[in-house]
Amino acid sequence: MELKWLEDFISLCETGNFRVASERRCVSQPAFSRRIKTLENWVGAKLFDRSGQPVKLTGAGEMFKPAALEIVQLACQTRNDIKTQIRADKSKIRFSTVSTLSQNFMPGWLKDLQSIIETESFIVRTDFDSFEDYLEALEEGVVDFFICYEDPSGTIFHYTEKFQSHILGTETLVPVVSPDSEGNPRCWLPSCKPGSRIPYVHTNSRPSIWPINHHLKKRYGDLEFVSVYEASIATALRAMVVEDYGVAWIPNSIVAEDLANGRLVRASKNDDDIHLDIKIYRYEQNTEPRTEKFWQALLERDAG
């Protein structure tokens, strides 16, 4: 059964005349009559009484009419909804990023871009499971841009032949811990004895996005960092550190005020900070006009 058969059926119901209905449907009368006959064969009953003019619905036709109207209406409405959504999505710029950046970097950054881009509509996704999934979504055109943290040494990202990148800013991950009653750190990492068990609060993002694990192995390979809590966003880590759950490396943009008022304190010296670039990536073969226009406007703004 085809949708056009139902549309033919409705047209004939409205006009009661094969010639007029076929003209409405922009098809020859013989072809129109054949399609009505084919629909009747599919239903298994005569739908129209052709003995007089105008033609009238049979009992089976009366039963079939409400369903035909509903199916056509639903199909047309769904088609219009899909077209509207496609038009809307094509006008949006689609980003993917990690949860922490979506909350603490993206809002301000997008607001700053309002003066150089035409669209005010964005999609920001954080629902991919792994670093590889983020890259696959970028390559397949599910998103237009991927924004992430990257170690400035360049050890994280090895796909420069496929993707173009641009540095948007930098972030510093600071080792923090809650203070004791005298305002001193409950744990000072440089003074910990080898083999000490350190309660550790951390994100559950893969190390390729958060290179803290590499730092711990390099700087504190003689200590045992025991995971006591993990979450997908750094603001949740901050709350747990404030409640004295352990040590965490948290973006300075999140804990700067806490460090200033003493609610949190450093767990080590400045040389234990982890400095990361915030980078935006695009798939080189994505040459859609809106994507290319955004990319060029971004490069020109930052170059100026």
Domains, the chain, with CATH or none: 3-90 (1.10.10.10), 92-167+279-303 (3.40.190.10), 169-277 (3.40.190.10)
The predicted structure's pLDDT at residue 159: 55
DSSP 189: G
Each as own residue / partner, the long-range contacts of residues 84-93 (CB below 8 Å, 24 or more positions apart, any chain) are 88/121, 89/123, 90/290, 91/119, 91/121, 91/290, 92/119, 92/121, 92/122, 92/123, 93/117, 93/119, 93/121, 93/122, 93/123, 93/144, 93/145, 93/290, 93/291, 93/294
Give the pTM. 0.64
The token pair at 242 is 């404030």
Q: Using CA atoms, how far apart are residues 26 and 167, in angstroms rounded to an integer?
A: 57
pLDDT at 183: 94
pLDDT at position 154 is 56
pLDDT attached to residue 89: 58
> Would you write out the chain's pLDDT as a tens digit for each of its 304 residues?
788 999 999 999 999 999 999 988 888 899 999 999 999 999 999 999 999 999 999 999 999 999 999 999 999 888 777 766 655 555 678 899 988 888 888 988 988 887 777 666 788 988 887 777 888 888 888 889 999 887 655 545 555 568 888 999 999 999 999 999 999 999 999 999 999 999 999 887 654 445 788 888 888 999 999 999 988 788 899 999 999 999 999 999 899 999 999 999 999 999 999 988 899 999 888 878 888 888 988 898 888 6
Please tell me the predicted confidence (pLDDT) of residue 209.
Answer: 47
Instruction: Give the model's pLDDT for residue 43.
Output: 92
Neighbours of 25 (CB within 10 A): 18
